Structure 1
Amino acid sequence: MAAHTKIKIFYISFGFWLIIGVESYSSQSNNVLTVQTGGSVTIPCHYDKKYTQQKKYWYSETDRTYKNTSEENLSVIDHPDQSFFTVTMRNLQNKHTGHYFCVVETGEQPPINIINEPYLKIQSAPDVSVVNSSVSGHEGGDISVQCFYSSDYQNKLKQWCRYKDQSCYTVGRTVTSQNPSVQISDDDRERSFTVLMTGLRLTDSGWYWCSAGEALNPVHITVTGEEPHKEKDTNNELLTVWLPVSAALLLLLILISVFIWRWRRRPKQDEYQIREMYSSTTIDKIYSKPEDPVIYSNINDDNPNDPNKDIITYSTFDHVPGSEAKPPAGGTIYSIVAPQQQQQ
């Protein structure tokens, strides 16, 4: 395709330097940013690290704006730690269509360095547009960018490129050891192509553009640390494991406690049963044979409320008439006293 040449003449640095340049354009090299009328665009301008402290500015054929300037519809912000500055233009109208330049004053010969020369084309229906101009993803994850093109560009080369090193990917799938997997799929019916980047790394953050032919639109990609919910998932997994274990341990503790409680109550229950057994027996008279050395007796407690129950009662017995048996020396007989169960 034929190329055309344009002579540009403009003054830089207060008119002391007259720069005459020759630019050559072709359908493969034109840098045309298509923006919708009334919309906005952010343009990255990368420079060499040795120019970190040098002056930078955004230059048009009618105006010059230095770095770190913010106006109503124009901002020029330097990012020296990343070696680029950005130009944001807002509320673009047809009058803004034209050539622009990202310029760095070198302090050497030549005195200036033009690092980017975009041509802004303001259209009611842009030749190339994107759904989102800023997309975020997490390290190790993936992102998707959808780019639309007009019917005039349906058969043009579709690309996804990075501003920093000008590396580009075309329709298909590209996998390398130094880059994430990039897959570009073109849908002629929808007149759009989708860029899928997987296996993201932190270094993949930066400015890209999607293009059809010479028309392009910039996209900023931000890659952050590992996705937060993964840590939550780990915590959930721990909870899933420990909750059943904790419940089983709690149940075991309850069973042990019940067993100990019942075991400690058992002597009292046996004692109560013994008392019940003895309370059912009534002996009115005590008889003994001469050969019996000790006289045992069960005595009912007719008063269950007697505070002296459950203790041993010492009883003294006299000689029983008609019997040869005599009480032991001292006349003291030990007897077991069982309480009488109260009748209902």
Structure 2
Amino acid sequence: MAPACPPEDSESKETLKNLTVRRGGSLTIPCFYDEKYKSKHKYWCKGQDWLLCKIVAYTNTSGRTLVTDHPTQNMFTVELKSLQDSDSGYYWCAVEITGGSDDKDYLYLTVSSDPAVSVMNSRVSGQEGGSVIVQCFYSAEYKKEKRNWCRFKDKCFLGGRTNTSQNSAVLVIDYGKGSVSVEMRGLQKSDAGWYWFSAGDVGVTVHLTVTERPSTTTAATTVSASISSTAVSGNEGTNHSGNTLLVWVLLAVGLGLLLTLLSIITWMLRTKSKQAETRGRMDNIAVNTFSTTEDSEVTYSNVNKKKKEPSSAPANENDVIYCNLTMNAENKMLSPAVKAEGVIYSSVVHK
């Protein structure tokens, strides 16, 4: 059993027995085992003394500690969540052996508010042929300690004040001011797995995932589709906003036209109503006038004017033209005259 450290036959002789994590954070620890133990039960145990350690979790049990077996990789992982200071201590990766001593190995975990080492992301991913950068940090007390970037079951890449690396595919840049940048270039599927960054004898784990690179045609299609998707998405957002605005504008215009039409119809109805009312009043006036005239006696005046026949005789002063006037007794607007039995005689003298 090899928890968080490479087996003796690896190229590296570095081991990682001390892990650190920030209070409230999470940490995943890989535990490697021999292939003959694939079908055995795995568990995570806490305690400095193996004989007195307390089993925290078995494989596939739920809770704050999750143990997951990966038989194809000959390892199981222990995921620790919401860690507190009280979780600090010795732990054991163990494989249960029936009828014999369990296979096991230990490590020490430190939980603190200011861990000695840390990474920006404990899980990173990249595409085949691409690259990833892992940003690592260490405290001032480890400034003079050696900093390493190592892969479990593989070699370590030493960091220093130079920009060179033991491998052209891995560039470890140590700024000497509490941070180290690890860049892995030209990624391959075989690069996927567990790594750790350490300063002195304290480290932290990092998992790298490498995804398959699509073929050129597929990549072009994917990029094009991605760009189209982004463009469509952006256009959809813009069109959605534009369509919404257009709908509101059309509604406003339609409402305005409807109000205008209603106003015109109302005005026409009112005008028509007023005209009808006016005609009614005029008819009433006409009817009333006619009725008044009809109710009153009519005064007729016959005026007959005769031309004088040529004559040498002088005009007779007694020639009189009679006018017959009939007057309504109630009409007080007529000229005053002598009334005799409803007939008024007027003398008209032509000179």
- Per the normalisation by structure 1, the TM-score is 0.55
CA distance 1:132–1:30, shift in 2 (3 Å)? closer
Residue 91 of structure 1 is aligned with which of 82, 85, 110?
A: 82
CA distance 1:94–1:235, shift in 2 (3 Å)? closer
2:103 alignment counterpart: 113
Asked whether 1:70 is paired with 2:62, we answer yes
Q: Residue type of the partner of 1:125?
A: D
2:185 alignment counterpart: 198
CA distance 1:228–1:87, shift in 2 (3 Å)? farther
Secondary structure of the residue aligned to 2:141 is helix
Alignment of 1:238-253 (within 5 A): none
Q: Residue type of the partner of 1:136?
A: S
Q: After the TM superposition, which parts of structure 1 deviate over 4 Å for at least 4 consecutive aligned residues?
A: 227-230, 234-237
Secondary structure of the residue aligned to 2:165 is strand
1:167 alignment counterpart: 155
Q: Is the 8 A contact 2:92 2:106 kept in 1?
A: yes
1:46 alignment counterpart: 32
Structure 2's unaligned 5+ residue stretches are 1-13, 48-52, 225-351
Residues in 1 aligned to 2:113 and 2:179: alpha-carbon distance in whole angstroms: 18
Secondary structure of the residue aligned to 1:216 is strand
CA distance 1:29–1:218, shift in 2 (3 Å)? closer
Asked whether 1:126 is paired with 2:115, we answer yes
Of Structure 1 and Structure 2, the greater helix share is in 2
2:295 alignment counterpart: none
Structure ID, larger Rg: 2
CA distance 1:204–1:67, shift in 2 (3 Å)? same
Q: Residue type of the partner of 1:50?
A: K
The offset of 1:29, in angstroms, is 5.4
Residues in 1 aligned to 2:94 and 2:186: alpha-carbon distance in whole angstroms: 35
CA distance 1:220–1:236, shift in 2 (3 Å)? closer
Q: In the comparison of the two structures, how many residue pairs are matched?
A: 201
Asked whether 1:183 is paired with 2:171, we answer yes
Q: Residue type of the partner of 2:146?
A: L
1:136 alignment counterpart: 125
The offset of 1:203, in angstroms, is 1.2
CA distance 1:230–1:120, shift in 2 (3 Å)? farther
Of Structure 1 and Structure 2, the greater strand share is in 1
Structure 1's unaligned 5+ residue stretches are 1-27, 238-344
The offset of 1:161, in angstroms, is 0.9
Q: Residue type of the partner of 2:127?
A: H
Give the % identical residues: 41
The offset of 1:175, in angstroms, is 2.7
Secondary structure of the residue aligned to 1:200 is coil
CA distance 1:228–1:32, shift in 2 (3 Å)? farther
Residues in 2 aligned to 1:183 and 1:156: alpha-carbon distance in whole angstroms: 19
Residues in 2 aligned to 1:228 and 1:107: alpha-carbon distance in whole angstroms: 49
Residues in 2 aligned to 1:183 and 1:63: alpha-carbon distance in whole angstroms: 42
The offset of 1:234, in angstroms, is 6.4
Residue 144 of structure 2 is aligned with which of 149, 155, 166?
A: 155
- State the superposition RMSD in angstroms: 2.2
- Per the normalisation by structure 2, the TM-score is 0.54
Structure 1 residues 278-318: Cα deviation after superposition (integer angstroms, max 9, x where no partner): xxxxxxxxxxxxxxxxxxxxxxxxxxxxxxxxxxxxxxxxx
CA distance 1:96–1:201, shift in 2 (3 Å)? same
